[in-house]
Structure 1
Amino acid sequence: MRAGFACDPAQSRGRLVAEEESAFRSCFQRDRDRIIHASSFRRLKHKTQVFVEHEGDFFRTRLTHSIEVAQVARTIANALGLNTDLTEAVALAHDLGHTPFGHTGEDALHALMAPYGGFDHNAQTLRIVTKLECHYAEFDGLNLTWDTLEGIAKHNGPVKEPIPYALAEYNALHDLELHTHASAEAQVAALSDDVAYNNHDLHDGLRAGLFTEEEICALPIVGPAYAEVDRLYPDTDAYRRRHEGLRRVFGAMVADVIDTSQARLVDAGCTSAQDIREFGRPVIAFSDGLWAELKQIRDFLFKNMYRAPSVMRQRALVTKVVEELFPIYMADLSLLPGRWHPEAQAATDDTTRARLVADYIAGMTDRYALQQHAQFTGTDILHDGS
């Protein structure tokens, strides 16, 4: 049964461009489906999480990560009586704005864009779904509902000054009430992101040999999970032991979010989605105890995975790819594909030119960015190391 504070598609604030409603899909279902069919969603298949895309077929990409986040989000939303379609739409869209090479690419592009308003992947997601996807005859973007756009813009909380350039640009046209919290559905999507990456980064780090089971068993949540597996299945092989251990870590995080959020929602006494937005603090959260334990896991991953010497070497190389591609395109916008030429010809100032180049580079997959860099510089940077 749907709770009173859940978002109701019948009460959606609608789309910027009015459309006739579907006879058999709610507006939030249509949002989810449009995201799945978007070009930017397909490109997530070849965008990295932590490792560069070419390094192995078993490591998570942005696409597999987004699917995992959506699965977790639907489970939590359903348990809390929320709208699962809206939750899934926000979860599937949340990483569309990521550059090639993950946060490394974003850091490089943000530095390059500093004179032109900076770059923020969350704001870029909104730019993609409101402008850069160009498939529909009647509008740019996907023409998603206000509710989904709001969730994309502020699933991590109210947006504080200075508002990222791309987000401020759209908000001036279509007010997303950036000063308030998002719906409970969007908050679930945000927490599901934490659940997914904390779990799968442990798995990917083990696969990459950056740390061992023995090391992670010293961590909270993880140690008790593996101990239970050893008690129940003392003779299981190492591969199954890993899977059984990490799925219990996953389950512990999900159960904690559900239990904590149920209690918070009761205490909040909200009776509508708007009450949730105006409540003043998140209603979806981990417990204080588990949040402190997750911090220990994140600190471990930061030291042993995100800042591992092998990962840092790759970060330095792919940073150079972005840094060298940007001025090449800035100097000659005709290098952009043909469909970009009308906008390129209309770009008469440096900021407009830079935003166009940033849009193009941000949309690249890892492999395409590497190919373009090799074409322009004659350097296979990951193999030459130069």
Structure 2
Amino acid sequence: MTSEFSLFKPQMQYAPYACLAETSRGRLYLEKETVTRSPFQRDRDRIIHSSAFRRLKHKTQVFVYHEGDYYRTRLTHSIEVSQIARSIARVLGLNEEITEALSLVHDFGHTPFGHAGEEALDDLMKPHRGFDHNAQSLRIVTRLERRYGGFDGLNLTWETLEGLAKHNGPLCRDDDMSHIHINFLEYNREHDLELHTYASLEAQVAAIADDIAYNNHDIADGLRAELFTMDEICEVPLVAEIVREVRDTYGDLDERRFDHEIIRRLINRMVNDILTESSSRLTQLRPESVKDVRQAGRRMIAFSGEMKQTDRELKVFLMRNMYRHYKVCRMTSKAKRVVRDLFALYMEEPECLPEKWQERLTDLDEQDRARHIADFIAGMTDRYALMEHRRLFDISMFEL
């Protein structure tokens, strides 16, 4: 059944519960704002101009960079998330500027080699309070980026940092912060992000757009890599329904066009479902401000029960047929070994780190030294990590 939002005209004014730049809580370090850009536009621009954003070009999600130019990278994924998120935000009367900023920054903390790299680094960091890519994203934009004369980090607005920290929901209940990652805790002492509440609707939109993009574009990459066929993924009822629609409409299409038609229609179904379900929730809550959203006690931007089931079915299919495919597992195993080898060597022989990273090790205890080395490894691209591993472990290679 076609959703009413298929022909919905976007709202031209912000809803009362939108996140507005003029009511922003500002930045940790006071700066004079500009007349040409709103605070959230400046956040987006700082994100785009950061070195962490550029590195996303050579960080992959499932396939390592050398396996093909057509597969998604963290950079192309983030741009695709931004497009989906802005479309949803526009229809709901939300602020596209901060939605875009959050979509573009959400993957900054990812390691090389996707989730395989993160799993390896988290295991290595278990004695040192663990590793979490969301917490690392906050650490990058508040500490590790060093571009400005007056402060470390990008000095983003409170609303952008809050959305980055809590886009997947509250990090704690009330004042119990015992399980929160140290990166969140350290920054929160300086700049309280209210970790026990929900984030703005814009942050919730960015989070669910990430889910849509991740699932659908992994399907596209999996089909291109021939890890599974379209007939196989038709075990998911909604995919089977869309396949019938496309065949009824176009008959025989070449494989690439056919696959693209399926993916774009699946994304559209998910977006329309979110608009319908989220509008219903907002009508029930009737929030009058973004504060009401933060204190709502549940997500306002969400799939319907039926689409949530489809989302689960897609994830189960991809786990079984893609992420656990033997070809992917072989590369995953290699990737984890690269991360483990580099971490162990840097901990044992820190003089192998680049000079500027060696300098910052001065007077650090073991835990902070491990976090410093994790910062270095997490910031690597796939390509750099592989080259660094060759330089350090291939005894036939003596280049500096």
- For normalisation by structure 2, the TM-score amounts to 0.93
Corresponding residue of 2:391: 375
| Deviation string, structure 1 residues 117-147 (Cα, Å, up to 9, x no partner) | 1100000000000000001111100000000
2:319 partner amino acid: F
The unaligned stretches of length 5 or more in structure 1 are 381-386
How many angstroms apart in 1 are the aligned matches of 2:332 and 2:200?
A: 35
How many angstroms apart in 1 are the aligned matches of 2:80 and 2:381?
A: 20
The structural deviation recorded for 1:340 is 2.4
1:371 partner amino acid: M
- The structure 1 residue matched to 2:148, chosen from 136, 140, 144, is 136
The structural deviation recorded for 1:242 is 1.1
Corresponding residue of 2:175: none
- The structure 2 residue matched to 1:192, chosen from 204, 209, 213, is 209
Q: How does 1:1-386 map to 2 (within 5 A)?
A: 1-160=13-172, 161-347=178-364, 349-378=365-394
How many angstroms apart in 1 are the aligned matches of 2:44 and 2:143?
A: 17
**Helix, strand or coil: the match of 2:237?**
coil
How many angstroms apart in 1 are the aligned matches of 2:169 and 2:39?
A: 23
How many angstroms apart in 2 are the aligned matches of 1:61 and 1:336?
A: 26
Worse-matched range after superposition: 331-340 or 9-18: 331-340
The structural deviation recorded for 1:105 is 0.5
| Deviation string, structure 1 residues 266-293 (Cα, Å, up to 9, x no partner) | 1111110111001110000000011011
How much is the aligned-residue C-alpha RMSD, in angstroms? 1.2
The structural deviation recorded for 1:297 is 1.1
How many angstroms apart in 2 are the aligned matches of 1:324 and 1:289?
A: 44
**Helix, strand or coil: the match of 2:342?**
helix
Instruction: Name the CA shift for 1:262/1:312 in 2 (closer, same or farther; >3 Å).
Output: same
| Deviation string, structure 1 residues 187-244 (Cα, Å, up to 9, x no partner) | 0000000110111011000011110011112312211112111111113222211111
How many angstroms apart in 2 are the aligned matches of 1:55 and 1:157?
A: 35
Q: Would you say the 8 A contact 1:334–1:344 is kept in 2?
A: no
The structural deviation recorded for 1:47 is 0.6
Corresponding residue of 1:383: none
The structural deviation recorded for 1:58 is 0.6
Q: Would you say the 8 A contact 1:373–1:379 is kept in 2?
A: no
How many angstroms apart in 1 are the aligned matches of 2:351 and 2:284?
A: 58
**Helix, strand or coil: the match of 2:362?**
helix
Corresponding residue of 2:10: none
How many angstroms apart in 2 are the aligned matches of 1:136 and 1:335?
A: 28
**Helix, strand or coil: the match of 1:172?**
helix
How many angstroms apart in 2 are the aligned matches of 1:312 and 1:218?
A: 23
- For normalisation by structure 1, the TM-score amounts to 0.96
**Helix, strand or coil: the match of 1:194?**
helix
**Helix, strand or coil: the match of 1:45?**
helix
Worse-matched range after superposition: 118-127 or 289-298: 289-298
How many angstroms apart in 1 are the aligned matches of 2:112 and 2:166?
A: 23
The structural deviation recorded for 1:379 is 7.3
Stretches (4+) displaced over 3 A: none
| Deviation string, structure 1 residues 280-323 (Cα, Å, up to 9, x no partner) | 10000000011011111110000000111111111111111111
1:359 partner amino acid: D
2:15 partner amino acid: A
The structural deviation recorded for 1:25 is 0.5
The structural deviation recorded for 1:167 is 1.3
How many angstroms apart in 1 are the aligned matches of 2:369 and 2:15?
A: 47
The structural deviation recorded for 1:371 is 0.8
Q: Would you say the 8 A contact 1:229–1:244 is kept in 2?
A: yes
Worse-matched range after superposition: 234-243 or 112-121: 234-243
Percent identity (aligned): 55
Corresponding residue of 1:384: none
* Number of equivalences: 379
The unaligned stretches of length 5 or more in structure 2 are 1-12, 173-177
How many angstroms apart in 1 are the aligned matches of 2:182 and 2:334?
A: 28
Worse-matched range after superposition: 211-220 or 175-184: 211-220
